Chains A and B, each alone.
Chain A
């Protein structure tokens, strides 16, 4: 199974300042169809997860443009360019390139 490793596991941030989360996979996530199925999910306190970004850098409709994703191969990053209070929660990367199973990172807690 592909292991997804996120850093940091906890990130204190200041409102209005940028934040970034790194995700590294144990193997390349480039699939045979040429796509890289790496997504980012947000889980606010007491809420279910919510898909933010898919295929490395594609924002889901309705997700603020302060969220961006980048990376390739085995190294990926989620950036928030100006943190807002509503961004508090846990962020997970997830790979679906090599399955089963789909695998998640351990989660990164973003706290103000």
Chain B
């Protein structure tokens, strides 16, 4: 069974940094694309970014609101994808979900981790 587990969410001040982690099991992680999606309190879903597998170039794409501030990386030896978030803003407050991606479908989602940006 595929399992996706996020961690690293916390309370951080505006301008600060956080790194989220997402561990995946039950799939061949090295061949799996991974996406991050966030959900602000009481709001809908917003795609944050995606990293392809190493064999597909390990390139990352980002949504405009986070481009230049957030970075997605992966470590296939640990079946883990990371979301490095810098220059945090209050509007980054959200539950951050990690999801496996299969041919542009977000197949399996984790339970999410809460990031709160507040002074």
B34-85 residues with Cβ-Cβ distance < 8 A to A are 35, 37, 44-47, 49-50, 61-64
Residue of B nearest to A105 (CB): B44
Describe B's contact surface by its main secondary structure.
strand
Describe A's contact surface by its main secondary structure.
loop
- Chain B residues in 8 Å Cβ range of A104: 44-47
Contact B107 A60, beta carbon cutoff 8 Å: yes
Contacts from B to A (Cβ < 8 Å): 35, 37, 44-47, 49-50, 61-64, 97, 99, 103-112
Beyond A100-B50, A102-B47, 19 additional contacts (C-beta under 8 Å) are A37-B104, A41-B106, A43-B45, A48-B109, A49-B45, A49-B106, A51-B106, A51-B107, A60-B107, A92-B45, A94-B106, A96-B104, A99-B61, A100-B49, A100-B61, A101-B64, A102-B104, A104-B45, A104-B47
Contacts from A to B (Cβ < 8 Å): 1, 37, 39, 41, 43, 48-51, 54-55, 60, 90, 92, 94, 96-97, 99-107
